[in-house]
Amino acid sequence: MIRIVMTLCLVMLSLSGCVPGQQIEQLGIITSYGVDLLDEEEGTLDNTILYTQFDPEAPQPMQTIESTSSTYLDAISAANLKTSYKLVTGHISLKLFGKEMAEKGIMRLLSPHLRDAEEPANIYIAVGEPTAKEILMSKGITDVSKFLDQLFENNIREEILPKSNFMDFVHNVDDPGVDPIQPVITIKNDKPVIDQIGLFQQDQYVASISPDETFLVKLIIEDFRAGKREIILPRAPFDPFIQNDTDEQPKEDLYLTLDEIRSSADISLEDKKQLHYQVNVDLEARLMESSEPIKIDSDKVLNLLETEMSRKFEEQYEQLTNKLKELNVDPIGFGTHYNAETKHEDLTDEKWRELFPTTTINYNVNVNIIRHGVIE
C-alpha cells in the first residue's frame, strides 16, 4: 500500500514537469489574426494581431501588434518579440485575409489548424477589403474581435449569412465540385460591416455577390427554418386588389416581406451527357409586410402573389447562374451531384471548371404563403 502511494507521488511529481504551465495572467491571448500580402514575389506577409492582456495598469486589455513573416506560426513568434506577454493562439476566433492575399490562396495559412490539436477549429474565415489591417485597426470600435465574432454569430443564427466557419471552408475546398463562400468585410463610418459575400475558386478569392444573391444560394445549399426576406414585385398585376390608395403618385414596385421562411431544395441531374440540372425549391412563409394595402380576401389574390413571387425568384436564379458560370465558380455544388451520379470517373476540380460553364440549369421555385396576418 505504502509502496503504491509512494510510486504514485513520485510519478505525479516527475510528470508535473512535463506540462507547460500557462498561467492566465502571463498570457497575451490572441483573438484575431489579420494578414495582408506585403511582397508578392517573395511572399512575405504583413500580419496584424489582436490580443488580450491582463495588465492592471493598462487602460485597455485589447492590444494590437504587427509583424512581418512568411508563415502564420512565424508571425506569432515575430510578434512575441514585441510584447512582454506570451502570445498564445488557443482562443483565436477570426482569421481575416486581405483581398490581395485572398486572391493568392489562403489555405497555406490555415493548415496549422488542421495539423495542431491546440489550434482551435471553430474560427471564422473572412476577407477584408481593402486590407485586413485597416479593418482590425478600425477606430470606431474598442474590441474589434468581439464585435466581429458576434457579428458573424448573430447573422448566421438569423440565417442571413451562410455557414462560413473554418470547418465549412475546408470541407468546401477539399470536396471536388463545390467552392466555398465567405463573408467580405469593409469599413463604413469607421466600423467594420459585412458588405458582400466572397466567391472562391478553391481557396482563391474571385469575386463577390450581394446579400440578395447570397439568399438565393443559401436557399439551395441550406434549408431555412425561420428566415426573413424582402421581395420586390411589379405593381401592375395587383392594381385591382389595392384598396384606398391615398398616394398621389403611382409606384411601379410592390415591396413585400416574407417571414418564418421554411425551405427545402433538391437538385437532380436530369441528363448526365448534356449536364442538364433540375432544381426544385419549396418555400413556405408568412407574409408580414407589404408597401401597399393589398386586400387578400380570396385564394385568387394569394395564388397571384405566389406565382408572381415564384416567377421573380426564378428570374433571379437565371441571372445568378449566368454570373456564376461566367466567373466559373460553383458555390451551390452542382459538381458534387455530378460526382455522385458518375461513380467511375474521379471528378477533379480542374475537370469541373471545364464542365461547369457548359451546364444548363432549370429552376422551379414553389412559393407557398401559409399565413398573411390576422388583420382582416
Partner 1 sequence: MIRKRKRKQLAYEQPKTKNEVHFPLESEQTKQAIQEQLQNESSLIFKEVNVQDQTIVVCYISYLIEQTQVDSNLLAPLIDSKEKWTTTRLETNLPIGNGQQYDTIEQVCSQLIKGSVVVYIENEKSAITYSISKNERRSVEKPERESIVVGPQSAFSESLETNLNVVRSRVQSNELVTESFNIGARLPTEVRLVYLKSLANDEDVQTMRQRLNNLKIDDLEDASVLVQYIEDTNKTVFPLFYLTELVDRFSYGVSKGKIGVLVDGSPEAIVAPTTFWGFFESTEDVYFRWSVATFFRMLRFAAMFISFVLTPVYVAVVTYHYEVIPTNLLVTLGESRSQVPFPPILEVLFLELIIELLREAGARLPTKVGQTIGIVGGIVLGQAAVDAGLTSSVLIIVIAMSALASFTAPSYLMGSAVRVIRYPLILLAGLIGLVGVTFGICLLIIHLLKLKSLGRPYFLPVYPFIFKDLDNSLFRLPFSISNRRSIALNTKDPIRYQERKSKKPKDIEDWGE
List contacts with partner 1 (CB under 8 A): 1, 12-13, 15-16, 18-25, 27, 29, 31, 52-56, 61, 88, 90-91, 93, 118, 120, 146, 149
At residue 132, the 3 state secondary structure works out as helix
Indicate the residue among 24 and 374 with the shorter CB distance to partner 1.
24
Query: What's the closest the beta carbon of residue 25 comes to partner 1, in angstroms?
Result: 4
Query: What's the closest the beta carbon of residue 159 comes to partner 1, in angstroms?
Result: 23
Calculate the dihedral angle through the C-alpha atoms of 146, 147, 152, 157, rounding to the nearest 10 degrees: 90
Cα 280 from Cα 364, distance rounded (Å):
5
Query: What's the closest the beta carbon of residue 53 comes to partner 1, in angstroms?
Result: 8
Cα 193 from Cα 188, distance rounded (Å):
7
Query: What's the closest the beta carbon of residue 18 comes to partner 1, in angstroms?
Result: 8
Query: What's the closest the beta carbon of residue 59 comes to partner 1, in angstroms?
Result: 12
Query: What's the closest the beta carbon of residue 56 comes to partner 1, in angstroms?
Result: 5
Indicate the residue among 25 and 350 with the shorter CB distance to partner 1.
25
Indicate the residue among 20 and 240 with the shorter CB distance to partner 1.
20
Indicate the residue among 31 and 131 with the shorter CB distance to partner 1.
31
What is the number of helices (H) and of strands (E) in the chain?
Answer: 11, 13
Cα 262 from Cα 264, distance rounded (Å):
7
Indicate the residue among 25 and 346 with the shorter CB distance to partner 1.
25
Query: What's the closest the beta carbon of residue 24 comes to partner 1, in angstroms?
Result: 5
Q: How many CB atoms are closer than 10 A to CB 307?
A: 13
310 neighbors 366 (Cβ within 8 angstroms)? yes
Indicate the residue among 21 and 240 with the shorter CB distance to partner 1.
21
Indicate the residue among 54 and 108 with the shorter CB distance to partner 1.
54
C-alpha cell at 105: 490562396
Measured CA angle at 255 (ends 253, 256), to 5 deg: 145
Which CA distances in Å does 10 have to 2, 6, 15?
12, 6, 8
C-alpha cell at 348: 477533379
Cα 106 from Cα 128, distance rounded (Å):
13
85 neighbors 53 (Cβ within 8 angstroms)? yes
Residue type, 22: Q
